[in-house]
Structure 1
Amino acid sequence: LDKAAGTMDALDDKEFSGSLVVLLENGLDFVRTNSKVKWQKAGEERIELPDYPKRSVLEGLVNALIHRQYLDLGSEVHIDLFDDRLEIYSPGGMCDGSLVQEQDIDKVPSKRRNPVIADIFNRLKYMERRGSGFKKIQSVYQSQYLYTDEMRPQFYSDKDTFILTLKNLNYKKGAEKGAEKGAEKGAEKKQFHKMEERREKILLLIKQNPHITQGEIMENLNLSRKQVQSLMRILNNQGQIRRVGSNRNGYWEVFREGRGW
């Protein structure tokens, strides 16, 4: 596994042997282990943002194992995972010798080099009987939240080789990555100042009324009970406030005041 856009020492490298089903499952696990699934909140919904859609990877691996040239001794199916893309290589080009990159993917005719293997995979529910693998890979990508035309899966073949390239949907180039990190740092800084401001307001409320309750602080600052409890725990741990007496009849003491006082 090469996790870079160029050539470098592999960060992970595994070789698998066994039945075709074992090879398929091991290949899926390898991609799953070395890729990420992010998520984003959209209203009440949580949207998963995988580097590579599982269904597209499955279709690509199934296609590689079913349609590869098994008479080419010493050759093998392999997966190369880079920062920005995943490549699945299989020995043997298109069955009719055509070049897949010169064809409309939606209209590529279904021709199987190994019909017995294809039938077994179909019976095991790893694939559909009709030749829809290429279209499925593309349609799944197009349905992804972060998809753009630049992310379109790429198919390449010559007389000896077939390569499927899947783009990393979460990959950001240098400038974009820098802008994203800058935005994240800006958001973190803003959140820090917001927390500081809330703690100072709590200190002021306690100074004005040492007997103030958490409920009254919630109402004054329009915060939830969990937020107030968290902020007061921080103030207490920092030695800025202390509870004297019982929860019912006690009061708060302020030992160190906030900024600007």
Structure 2
Amino acid sequence: MVNTDYFLPCGVVIKKEDDKLVIENPGSIRTGKKQMLRGGISDPRNKTLMKMFNMIGIGERAGSGIPDIYQVWENEGWPMPVVEESYNPDRTRLSLEFAKKQTIKTSEEEKEPKRSQKGAEKEPIKGAERKKEILKLIKVNSTITQVEIMKELDLTRKQVQKDMKELQEMHIIAREGTNRRGRWIIVKENK
């Protein structure tokens, strides 16, 4: 609603099917598709509407909406959302499928767990080095999620949770805002 260009033809359209939700609105993505998917920067077309949503506690101006949606879809094991833009007239479409991804394991995959390309290129990161790498990622993107850190560093969820908890207990990082819509703050540099 806050990113809709109400001066273009064809208003907001929401289509609900049994296993899919499609949301379309007039207007292009002002921050660009790549930045929108990354999050952290917000440029709503309708700032007054955004302020109204903020006042009633159902929105914030952090550019975290789409990354949050991607996070929920990943956590649920649903196919990744699809964002499409079309032009003349400008229109943005978000397709959200609810069906679980189907995974078919080959006999080799069942024998040995799959390692990512990144993991095959280098040794696993250990202890203090993991924390330093996590801090580097937080410096670049304060709204980074644990899942994104897991993927970037080729770690398990348990490793990331443990390291981030320790970083918070050591007062090196702190969380501002909620778990879903907050951001990380580096309180002091880890030597």
Short-chain TM bin: 0.3 to 0.5
* Greater Rg by CA: 1
TM-score norm. by structure 1 comes to 0.34
Please state which structure has a larger fraction of its residues in helix: 1
- Please report the TM-score for the alignment, with normalisation by the length of structure 2: 0.46
